Each structure stands twice: as structure tokens, then as C-alpha cells.
Chains A and B, each alone.
Chain A
Amino acid sequence: GQNIDQPTEMTATEGAIVQINCTYQTSGFNGLFWYQQHAGEAPTFLSYNVLDGLEEKGRFSSFLSRSKGYSYLLLKELQMKDSASYLCAVVDSNYQLIWGAGTKLIIKP
């Protein structure tokens, strides 16, 4: 079967750095997305990785290792507004999106 694993919840301190991991087992791979979603709102796109390596975009970076079936989202200089759920989603060989359940990130002052 196809599976995406993320931690259910993480807590971090304002100003710190946090890494949210995502591991996947899917039938084929055509890219991996990270989304941010605040409670009651639609998810917003953060990053897309299809090749191995690190993609940096401001305070957020996303890393992919296809051989390990692994990705992480790195958030630096955490702000209170970063409190949200972070969704990992993989595009499989049929271009179907396989979603992780999301990681709820709680930022404490």
C-alpha cells in the first residue's frame, strides 16, 4: 500500500529552528509537496521537490532524498504565525496525490 508518515504534533520555541520529517512509500514518485494550513483555512503551498537536494525559500527549506523515501521541511527563525499544520503530499506514478495526515506545529513564546 501507499503510505506517508509525519509526526502528529511538534512543539518549538519562537525564534528557534524546527525540522518536520516526512517518509513515504508510494507506487512511483513524481514529486513531493509541502503545504501549510492554518486552522479553518485552505492549505497554502510551501514547496515542491522532485529532485534530490535542498530547496531554500526564505525562512523555509525543503529537502528530498528519493533513494531514502524521505523529505523534511525546515523552518528557521520561527514566528508565532508559523503555528499551523504542515502537510506532506507525494505525487505517485499515476499522478495521484498521496497525502500525509499533517504535522501540527505549536510555537511557544
Chain B
Amino acid sequence: GAVVSQHPSRVICKSGTSVKIECRSLDFQATTMFWYRQFPKQSLMLMATSNEGSKATYEQGVEKDKFLINHASLTLSTLTVTSAHPEDSSFYICSADRDRGEQYFGPGTRLTVT
């Protein structure tokens, strides 16, 4: 099956710093990747849709200047949380869209901002 990795799996950072999360499709090319965040015991919340070679599409209420997304290649998308604050602490999950519209999810990155 298709494999999507995320790195790091866990990160702790200080308030005001920036954190970059990578999402890679390991055995297929993904023109579209999705970034989600999830608070404990809650559903996934779609943050943005990342398209290779173009600007990401952000969901309403998601600050694009705070959550920078770069999809520079068909196998890599990055999410950078800039000037992180404790309220940004969450579980961030990416998924990669294979052709035919099937999505494969990464294992997630747990961000803790102190």
C-alpha cells in the first residue's frame, strides 16, 4: 500500500519560535496533499490543501501567514508553524492524494509549544 511519512513525529518548541513539519509520499507521487490539525478526542480539521507547484488553499479561519505551506515536489509538502504559541499545540496530520482521489494519511506530528 501507499506510504506517507511525517517528520518529526513529536516536537517541543518555545513560544515565538518556528517549527517545520515535513510530509512525504514514499512510494507514489502526490500532486495534492492535505494538512489537518486535531485536538484530543476531536475530529480532524482540514487546514489547507497543498498543490504541487502552486499556492496552498487555506480553509476559512486558518491564517496563511502563520501556517506556511510549501509543496515543492510531487513527494514533499512542508508545513511551517511560524511564531508558535501554546494555543498552536496540537496534532498535525498530512495526507497525500494519489491519483483516483484516494488519500493516504501520515502518522501525524504532535506539536507542543511551551
Contacts and interface: CB of A to CB of B under 8 A. Distances in A.
Interface of A: 30-31, 33, 35, 37, 39-45, 48, 50, 85, 87, 89, 91, 94-99, 101
B51 to A, nearest CB: 13
A39 B97 CA distance: 10
Given A37-B103, A96-B9, A42 B108 contact: no
Interface of B: 1, 9, 34, 36, 38, 40-41, 43-44, 46, 91, 93, 95, 97, 100-103, 105, 107-108, 110
Contact of A33 (B34, B43, B91, B103): B43
B91 A43 contact: no
Given A39-B101, A39-B102, A40-B101, A97 B46 contact: no
A45 B44 contact: yes
A100 B108 CA distance: 14
10 contacts: A35-B43, A41-B101, A42-B34, A43-B95, A48-B41, A91-B41, A95-B40, A96-B9, A96-B91, A98-B107
B41 A96 contact: no
Contacts of A98: 107
Given A39-B100, A42-B34, A42-B46, A99 B41 contact: no
Interface centre among B91, B102, B105, B110 (most CB of A within 10 A): B105
Contact of B93 (A39, A85, A97): A97
